[in-house]
Chain A
Amino acid sequence: MPPILEVRDLTVRFAGGTALERVSFTIEKEEIIAVIGPNGSGKTTLLKAILGLVPFQGEIRVFAKPIRQVLAQVGYVPQRFAFDSTFPLTVEEFISLTCRSPEKLPVGGVLDEVGMDEFKGKLIGELSGGQLQRVLLAHALLHRPRILFLDEATSGIDIEGLSDFYSTIQRLNREHGVTIMMVSHEISMVYKFTDRIICLNRDLISHGETRTALTKEVLKKLYGDSADLKNHNHG
């Protein structure tokens, strides 16, 4: 069986310098993978390169194919959704905007999956940060993706909502077999909810099962002396 995701010698350069340098890893199983690293370490760039949103050198294969050929099987929740918040678009209308109709799930179903069914008539500009992230997640799930990429999807969610969000992610993986790759800063949540980690700081620091790869030494290498497995949090 071909790997779900294969990244080989990935290098991304921007005008200002190198964002990623010869990064290689393979995802074989339907797991939850966290990408961690300090600010500016290339986490978002890694996701964008995999999705074909930025030019890169090296080779990336998703389900053994170039990403453009398998986009219908891929979901993505961006870090920021910089839309005009005064635009009158309801949650239901926003979810319905996506265009691949044949295999899509009912709008109510995906909203229910992320606990947002009762908000479908509300304007997206009136949602809180956490609610908006859940709606973006629902939007990404509409076409039953086999792999889901989340870029700091919990950045607008309060502490109480964090655990719920991670539980939803875990359920999607365990019950629906969706491979999930997420950029995160919540190290304690990563430790609790993910199966595998990729530690980045422009190049690959470590890669492996979360419980064994997420050591104090790795955290120190990434975040310096202040790193703490129990209470490290972005905010």
Chain B
Amino acid sequence: MSEGQIDEGLRAELQRQGVWVTSMQELYNWGRKNSIWPLQFGLACCAIEMIATAASRYDIARFGGEVFRPSPRQADLMIVAGTVTKKMAPQIVRLYNQMPDPKYVISMGACAISGGPFKQGYNVLKGIDRYIPVDVYIPGCPPRPEALLHAFMELQRKIDSQKLSGADKAEHLDPEQPSEFPVPNFGHHDLEPPANPEVYQPPKLERV
């Protein structure tokens, strides 16, 4: 058991006696994970599912994510919902750069992950993870609202497990870690650079 953590048995015993014990880290993460404000923008049909998730039937408010912010300065989470065209990609990266730390990205749907059905096209970016780091990927075309809620809960689990101190502390607390990434330029034939090698390291395929 590391420093700053409480034995679960002891905590349960204390709770039974009317004493609630917690740590700064748990309290802090509990607050953060239950009020994740997404950035309000959608790119394609995935955005319709995102809207359905925010509406009453699926109700993302149950998880504290109902406050869609129209400004990146007030947002914690970027849901990349839909096809990212190459013409749109610099704006997405710019919006990401304008978000304050800590910030998270959900790559929603086949297009945002890899380009999806438009992968071999000349105009669609083959995955937003070429330029910005992605926390949760949801496959689907488009993913159902349940899948987006699942991704949201996964993100909450990730936030809950982030450390505030120590060598393995959360990235946004480490001044060495970049929080902004270079915006690609419009080139003569493609975006320049076509991917940010600091963020995007695809596996090497050893085939003939």
Do A and B interact with each other, yes or no? no
